[in-house]
Amino acid sequence: MSAAMKQSAGATLELSNIHAGYGDFQALFGVSLRVEPGEAVGVVGPNGAGKTTLLRVISGLLRPRAGTLRFGGQDLLQVPAHALPALGIAHVPENRRLFPHLTVEENLKVGAFSKASRAHFEQRRDHVYSLFPRMQQRRHQLAGTMSGGEQQMCAIGRALMSGPKILLLDEPSAGLAPLVVQQVFALVKRIREEGLTVLIVEQNVAQVLRVVDRAYVLETGRVAAEGRAAELAADPAIRRSYLGGH
């Protein structure tokens, strides 16, 4: 495990009875979820199940209406969103949301904005380049001019720049060609082998169950099932709904 990525492990992410939504629309109804240090956990479910909302709640972009949210014992609802990266939470948002008019390296620099990260910028950047050699080749290229797969790598790299304890990934495979999806998941696997805790939201259920230890099935804003990845993959109901099996 690389020294650059190493963070004092041991922070448990704990959501309990989270209710959240936008205006009149409620997206989450009492969701509880737990991610232990070093674990890789998946959240799967159909479109509109509330998966993205869940991640937005964790990273502080959306304040829940009720429920508790703790990370390593700290109440995250008391912390402003922009202070969360410094606590070790990194969120790769839906559609990557790179800054297309900035270069790859500038994107990484924005990712290392918090005071604590700046001192580690070069070390972490080099680590990201070692994970994604393609990024190093394209370091001075505008991020918006890269392919979808490269942009996804860059977005993950940008999230790693804050030296997170937990990485939240929102649909990393969305819009990518099957071969590229394979590459992205291989990388996710590698990142978690380095000891990083990962919470990954995906529609690509078959792929994600191969990478994670445990998973939650989210349906219409509620946890419909949870369990070990292998158990879920074998569950006939899940197979029928999400894996196209019989």
Partner 1 sequence: MDLLDPFFLEALVNGILLGGVFALPALGLNLVFGVVDVVWLCYAELVMVGMYAAWFLYTQAGWPLWAAFAVCLPLVSLLGLLLHLLVVKPLLNQPPINQVLATGGVLFVLQGAATLAFRTDFRSLGVDMPPMEVGDVFVSGTKLAAFCAALLGAAVLWAFLKFTYVGVAIRAIARDREVMPLMGVDPQRIYLIASAVGGALAGLAACLLVVQLDVHPFVGLSFGPITFMICVMGGLGNMLGGFLAAFLMGLIISVGGFWGNTEYSYVIAFLFFILTIFARPRGLFAR
Answer yes or no: are the C-beta atoms of 188 and 167 closer than 8 Å: no
Point out which span in 80-88, 126-134, 188-196, 202-210 binds partner 1 (CB under 8 A).
80-88
β-pair type (89-92, 166-170): parallel
- Taking alpha carbons only, the member of 189, 183, 195 closest to residue 153 is 183
Pairing of strands 40-44, 197-202: parallel
Q: Which is nearer to partner 1, 138 or 158 (CB)?
A: 158
> How many CB atoms within 10 Å of residue 26?
14
Distance CA(11)–CA(100), nearest Å, equals: 33
Residue linked to tokens 């700290």? 74
| Identity of the residue, 100 or 245, whose beta carbon is nearer to partner 1 in the bound complex | 100
d(CA 170, CA 52): 7
Q: How far is the CB of 235 from partner 1 (least distance, A)?
A: 33
1 to 40: interface string for partner 1, x by CB under 8 A: ----------------------------------------
Smallest distance, partner 1 to C-beta of residue 108, A = 10
Backbone angles phi, psi at 142, to 5 degrees: -70, 135
Question: Does residue 164 bind partner 1 (CB under 8 A)?
Answer: no
Q: Smallest gap, in angstroms, from Cβ of residue 82 to partner 1?
A: 4
For partner 1, the binding residue among 42, 111, 149, 172 (CB under 8 A) is: 111
Shortest Cβ distance from residue 164 to partner 1 (Å)? 11
Q: Provide the binding-site residues for partner 1, judged by CB under 8 A.
A: 59-61, 80-86, 90-91, 93, 97, 99-102, 106-107, 109-114, 117-118, 158-159, 162
